[in-house]
Structure 1
Amino acid sequence: MERDDQLMKNLINKLSIGVVIADQQGQFLFTNQTIREMTGYTEAEIKTMKDWYKKAYPDPEAREKAKRYFEYDLENNIQDRTYKITTAAGDYKYFNFRYSQLDEEKMLFEIIDISHRIQQKQELKNQNIIFENFFTNSLEGIILLNSEFRILDANNKFEEIFEISKSDIKNKLVLNVVDLYEESNNIEKEINEILAKEDWENEVRFKVDNKIKYCNVHIFSVDNKEHDRLIYAVVDDITESKEREKELKEVKERLELAVSGATIGIWDWNAAEEYIHFNENWAQMLGYELSELENNLNTWLNLVHPDDKEQALKDLEDHLEGKTEKYYNEHRLKTKSGSWKWIRDIGKVTERDEAGNAIRIVGVHIDIDREKRAAAEIEYLSNHDELTGLYNRRYFNEELKRLSNSRKYPISIIVGDINRLKDINDNYGHSMGDRYIELTAEAIKSSLRTEDIVARIGGDEFVVILPDTNYNAAEEVTERILDRIEEVNEKEELPEPLSAALGYETTDSKNQDHGVKNIKKCYNKADKKMYEQKFTGRC
């Protein structure tokens, strides 16, 4: 008999369910190995129902609640309930308890661990919630169809795209709900093949409120017990992006036409890869074919005029470091023929890395050579005498102001006047008079240093400004000019000898308050001396 009891215990210990036998006082008479493994509690820890409640429900409120449920079940002969208990490891598990009365003194508890099923159920519930949220609030339109392509459900975005209500389209054939711009026969043929394929995706045009909508449509099917097969159609409204794409294409075409017509060179510099793309105009602007140029920064650097390179690099570096909104510089580039051409170079960083380093810079080259040369010519003419090429009165007056506050003292001034120019004009014509003026200008200019300034300030009147020149040196320059005039008379066949009256004066004042006055006074004295010499001195 004892042997039979032991065999029974061994058998019960091997069951996959937990088994507990308790008496009427709540003492545990037997617990099998499975329940101990399920809970983690030992036989010594759990000897009574009181021990069980204390371990399985550490929270007093949960403990009292479990007790009330158990008492209620006993009173109402309810033999099955699921409890959430705490294991010895501190985890939560869901156990299904089944109660049965063995006799008046003993009760049998059969306990099944259903935690995995509860967890699966909860995960499925969560997945359903996620799917429902995704389906309802997706940024793409979604409709759910049965195998006959009748609409079972549609989300908010689908209603918005096609301007229809879900309640109005339910159970209707999808092709009777949406208005295709395409040939419907072709679409229907493709859709009918969906059930035999994994999925179908294409760009489709629809007519909505007399307007065309471009949509990317993705259709796929899944097996379903209730409906045999479910079909999902996902519709992404790409009308706006299509319109932008069209606008960008038109802008690009106009830009390319403008760039081509305006002879604008384009460069696109990938700084990370040290690669620069130049367009045809960039190369042809300098007389090159695009194939003759390497796609790197040195191509540009080697062509920049030495006098312009430092400033161009500084302006570029300032922009790369974010100090300026854009890169802007005007410099000269060497053409294939060896001449120099003025270029306006404008660029902007279009992409930076996380550290703020420039990755991509795009810019344009504009040919401003004619503009620059025209501006230089205008500036030259505004400051120079057309006949002699010497500076004019405007430049002379500005230079007097500038030198008055300079460190070029002492400053000497020579004033000269051609003798009898009116008689020469009257007797031999103004072209001969112009010849006398040109020869006088050459004689004066050839007698001076590079830093000296000579201007024609009237018909036959010339002025020389000699910076850093004292009175004695001014006298030597005056004598040298007169000698050059005598040399002209020896070389040139003139109807009458060329002669000029010269007067000079020096000022050494550096006082800024009186500098202008003193330098003007110096000019007036030189002018007066010139008139004194006109008929009495050496001419």
Structure 2
Amino acid sequence: MQNESRSPDTAKAGSDEHVNAEMFELAPVSMWLEDFSGVKKLLDEWRAAGVTDLRSHLQADLSRVHACTLQIRVLQVNRKTLQLFEADDLAHLTANLGKVFRDDMLHTHIEELLQVWEGKNEFSSNSVNYTLSGKRLDIQLNARILPGYEDNWERVLLAVENVTEREAARRKLMHSENYARGLFEYSPISLWVEDFSQVKRLFGDLRQIGIKDFRVFTDVHPEFVERCMQEIRVIDVNQQTLTMFHAPDKPTLLSHLSEVFRDDMRPHFSEQLGELWHGNLFHQREVVNYALNGEQLHVHLQFSVFPGHEENWDLVLVALTDITARKKAEAYLEFLGKHDELTKLHNRAFMVDEMNRLERKGPFPVSVIMADLNGLKEINDQLGHAAGDALLRRVGEVLSKAADKPVHAARIGGDEFAILMPATDERDAVAMVENIQSLIDINNQYYSGSPLSLSMGYATSRHGERLEATIQRADTLMYQDKRTYYAQTPGNERRQTSPE
């Protein structure tokens, strides 16, 4: 009996094939050996028919993509593939390929077909497959037409990596990012993401040269505050910021920041720098900014350095809540507390406080003018209270024009008015009375209807005299003037006037 023998080359070739077969079978990723010759034939037919834009051709009718998938023959898969797709064997898998390749996969298969259409021997994609039980698999596919089969595509090796967990994590991260972006972009308050790292560096320079009292330093060097303001870099703003600051878009706002942060804002910013100097990385305060249309904005500012960026301040969130309406309401309430709503002059409460202040601190002498609107009762009786109110408003116009600070004019009763003049002697008091009378004459030329007329009396405080006594002397003289007015006015001879 003759022993069979093989040449060394034959034995080596057989050994290599065996190793390759084992490597394919035991590969830790899903491996597929497929025949794409039917796909090549179909693509060649389309090309011959005049198709030049394969993407448009396939997207116009996805059934063409499906036709390509039907031309693929699965020749062999490895053990990892059966496990991944929950198949018993190759026959079980190939009999159910319609369950594996469906839905989302058709769109990504277009990209694979485009790569081989362009003459590439390798193609890759990120796609979606499904297990036989219907579980979604995110996969990363890498394929190559094997050497020697470039002309007919009869052997294509595909490696399919299951990246479902990675893609799920990516989608979750993307969802979180979109959620955070949505919270930022559509927040009802103005949000600014800024970089304060250069401010931090400037602070470090000051500490190195021994600066300890930051407030004293900025008082002596106000240009440092300006320098810090210029070194802040705005990274992003949200939609509410554009609305609040009347900016059409982000580039417009960011290119006009000098119009936003100016004037009254600088003292607030200096205080904010003081907070940072002392290590307060979260603080809040009320500040003033300006919209691009020039409108003044009162805002409640909340400043916070992002966690993890405490060392260099390169990521800072500034939240601005518009409190302009509240500030206006507060200012109006404060105004009403010290002013008469009808005439816009000060009221009796303010005048009492101002008298007490002048008695304590001066400066003396203090002159007082007491005035009374003539004919108010007759106007109210004959023309109605609306006409009387209009006349009172005209008194407010005259006296507010005449009374510049530190002089104060007030409505202290229905038709009674007082003017307090600090550091004013009798000569200046006379000049004020004459000025008021001139303004009345001008006012009467401007308004038709009932003429405006005031009875006035003035007095200047004597040394050691209480202002209340000065007011009483001025009041007495005012009533004398009023009696003279009614005595000289036809139809008012019977009207009696006397000081209360």
How high is the TM-score relative to the length of structure 2? 0.50
More helix by share: 2
Higher relative contact order structure (alpha carbons within 8 Å, sequence separation ≥ 6):
2
Query: Rg larger in 1 or in 2?
Result: 1
More strand by share: 1
